Structure 1
Amino acid sequence: MDYKIKKASLENLEETAELFNLYRIFYRQESDLEKGKEFLKERFSNSESDIFLVVVDDKAVGFVQLYKLFHYTKLQKQWLLSDLFVHPDHRGKGLSVALINRSKQWCEETGACGLMLETEKTNDIGNSLYPRCGFEYDGLHNYYHWWL
């Protein structure tokens, strides 16, 4: 399959927001294209995340969004692979793996020590994909959330 991966910018807001909205729906959130667009616009405008789009036939069909973190034991920058999505019509073609590989390359390009991610226990696709891509399950830590 022919595809290309490009770093997204504010110029790609519309196509990125459409995919981001579908991603949120996948995680059982209400569709809200405009609010998602504003969220992404802030990320782009404030350089708060890096997004890569996978493009097939001049149409963005998937994305990965990375946020910068810092690792306390390695004393280096690392990236949080926060969001990964490929449109259902394009799944099973290796595009998720391509986006993950691009994220790994981004770590090398930016001098980061690696990637971390979390996914729902019920995400069977992700939970089989990530180990195949070299991620190791971290059974040593508990992750907690505090919401305002």
Structure 2
Amino acid sequence: MTSIQFRLATQQDVEAIAALHTLSWQTSLQEIFPAQFLTEQVPHMHRQHWLETLATPKGYLCVAELNDALVGFIFCHTNDDLKEWGCLIDNLHVHPDMKGRGLGRQLAQHAAHWCRDIQSCNALHLWVAEGNRAAINSYLRWGGERVERCLHHHQGGPSIWAYRFYWENLSQTLLQQE
């Protein structure tokens, strides 16, 4: 059996990352966002986002591949919330066929190492749609604490309620589980 390979993303990964990001939203957020938004606006929105993100790299963008196919990725960076909440996991997506195998946790652990070892920060946070029960359950299992609920606005789409999850001490939560 071939093992999953992890590596830093390059500009050549834009299309695959955007496609997986879109597929992830279309499958995990179909009860939250209107179908028309997910099929007509989201693919273009994600492609543009990743073109811009990879054109001026910042943070940590790690992809997971199986048999040379992208099966997951994580994007983590610092932002204005760094002092209060630590590094931000801006995106964490796993191909629907790979869910339930621990890949999301492995990607989060890669980001946690980057946060702790490169950014000298021992905390992480992320936002998740209130209706994304599978992700919420995963973050709780990984030791994340649900600390805040906020209305998030999406360009061209509806506003949705989201939770902030927080890992205050990576060594005692996410990285302890390695």
TM-score w.r.t. length of structure 2: 0.69
State whether residues 54 and 60 of structure 1, in contact with CA within 8 Å, keep that contact through their aligned partners in structure 2.
Answer: yes
State the shift of 1:49 in Å. Answer: 4.6
Which residue does the alignment assign to 1:143? 150
State the shift of 1:144 in Å. Answer: 4.4
Which residue does the alignment assign to 2:131? 122
Cα 1:146–1:106 change in 2 (3 A) is same
Which residue does the alignment assign to 2:167? none
SS in 2 for 1:119: strand
Task: Give distance in 2, aligned partners of 1:64 and 1:147.
Answer: 20
State whether residues 79 and 116 of structure 1, in contact with CA within 8 Å, keep that contact through their aligned partners in structure 2.
Answer: yes
Cα 1:73–1:85 change in 2 (3 A) is closer
Task: Give distance in 2, aligned partners of 1:144 and 1:35.
Answer: 20
Which residue does the alignment assign to 2:16? 15
State whether residues 43 and 49 of structure 1, in contact with CA within 8 Å, keep that contact through their aligned partners in structure 2.
Answer: no
1:5 equivalent in alignment to 2:6? yes
SS in 1 for 2:146: coil
Which residue does the alignment assign to 1:81? 89
* CA shift digits 1:96-123 (9 cap, x unpaired): 1111111111112322232101212222
| Percent identical residues | 22
Amino acid at match of 1:81: I
* CA shift digits 1:56-101 (9 cap, x unpaired): 1121111112232243448xxx321122111111111111111111
State whether residues 100 and 133 of structure 1, in contact with CA within 8 Å, keep that contact through their aligned partners in structure 2.
Answer: no
Cα 1:146–1:92 change in 2 (3 A) is closer
Task: Give distance in 1, aligned partners of 2:132 and 2:44.
Answer: 26
For structure 1, list consecutive stretches of 5 or more residues without a partner in the other structure. none
For structure 2, list consecutive stretches of 5 or more residues without a partner in the other structure. 156-178
Which residue does the alignment assign to 2:48? 38
Cα 1:90–1:102 change in 2 (3 A) is same
Task: Give distance in 2, aligned partners of 1:146 and 1:3.
Answer: 34
Match of residue 121, structure 2, among 94, 112, 116: 112
Task: Give distance in 1, aligned partners of 2:102 and 2:121.
Answer: 24
